[in-house]
Structure 1
């Protein structure tokens, strides 16, 4: 699958197993989401552009590097909120823009209800954050919004994907890399990933 990157990191596999477990309570679930996101974001940002700089140390000067690109984080509400904190720890200067999209339970189609993007983008790279790439409808709709906004580079970072969601994304936006911790078997009749981990939003916020 071109442009689909599944993490092979042992820590990701270890933490994902704990995340899936029905024994994992909301507080620990949120911690695991944050930790896995840090690891995935590390991999997803490996190609960011840098420029050389010279740094003064206590004993002289040393060659260094600084990021050239400004990063935007776009969590899809509400489940994507839990993924922001981890990346913010690594990239505190990243801007965060919220897009609210929910999946209609009858049609399984995305419905946008919140969007406060400014008139023009101030970032060059956007990371879309959503734990589950299920039908792919919300992810496709978010990429549509960001491309219309004028963002040049977009990446999707999620925890678990379904083949159906990946196919949907690649069919509509083959240029958008997809970074995941795992790809599961299929979607059930109500659009949940199997075996998955249940509803990521409910498990984070204790509302299930």
Structure 2
């Protein structure tokens, strides 16, 4: 496994992932679990954030405390990334947020961007790039390319599932990008779906199957 990929095997995360895999899990429960996984994975993805020292007054005395020196920017890859966004922002209320709308068009065999908005002060800031599923990684690589045009800082992908093929391609084009995930899957089927996977995350989130 690449040193820049961290698989989080915490029992609580794996327990919740089991419910996402279950085809009997309804959309409302699926949304709640994905939100919870976003919050839990956010802690791991921000493990190395820099801290600064500050001074506060407790009810009894003045003391030193440590606070996040430079809050990250959470960027959701729409639409499925939005299912994790609220959970991550609940864990990181001091973070700002952006959105990228991008998809792979099978007719032109390329990615198409239809929306892009990140905070104006994103230069040099750590990015948490959020998408619950990374299969072929075509859209993820395009998102990283676009973010680098804005001279952002370190990029960490926060995903629930990623394929071995997708992980390899990401680190071929962007070897420094970190990945935090709950599982590296067995592979992809002929339609590009992750195996064993959770199906189409967007459809299951928003009941559009």
Assess if the C-alpha contact under 8 Å between 1:53 and 1:63 holds in 2: yes
What CA RMSD, in Å, does the superposition of the two structures yield over aligned residues? 1.5
8 Å CA contact 1:70–1:122 kept in 2: the answer is: no
Question: Residues 93-112 of structure 1 correspond to what in structure 2 (within 5 A)?
Answer: 93-106=94-107, 109-112=110-113
Say which SS state the counterpart of residue 98 (structure 1) adopts: strand
Query: TM-score, with normalisation over the residues of structure 1?
Result: 0.95
* Aligned residues between the structures: 208
Answering whether residue 85 of structure 2 is matched by residue 84 of structure 1, we say yes
In structure 1, C-alpha distance between the alignment counterparts of 2:87 and 2:124, rounded to whole Å: 19
**Structure 2 length-normalised TM:** 0.94
Unaligned 5+ runs, structure 2: none
String of CA shifts for 1:69-112, please: whole Å, max 9, x gaps.
Answer: 12111100100001110111122221111110112245664221
Q: Does 1:125 align with 2:123?
A: no
The CA deviation at 1:119 is: 5.9
Q: Retained in 2: the 8 A contact 1:125–1:151?
A: yes
Give the whole-Å Cα distance in 2 for the aligned partners of 1:118 and 1:95.
7
On the 8 A contact 2:75/2:118 being kept in 1, the answer is no
Which residue number in structure 1 is paired with residue 19 of structure 2?
Answer: 18
Q: What is residue 199 of structure 1 aligned with on the other side?
A: 200
TM superposition shift of 1:145: 0.6
Indicate if the aligned counterparts of 1:97 and 1:116 stay in contact, CA closer than 8 A. Answer: yes
Distance 1:9 1:188 in 2: 27
Mapped pair 1:61 → 2:76: no
Gaps of 5+ in 1: none
User: 2:156 is matched with which residue?
Assistant: 155
Greater CA deviation, 14-23 or 111-120? 111-120
Asked whether the equivalents of residues 72 and 95 of structure 2 are also in contact (C-alpha less than 8 Å), the reply is: yes
Shift of the 107–179 alpha-carbon distance from structure 1 to 2, 3 Å rule, reads farther
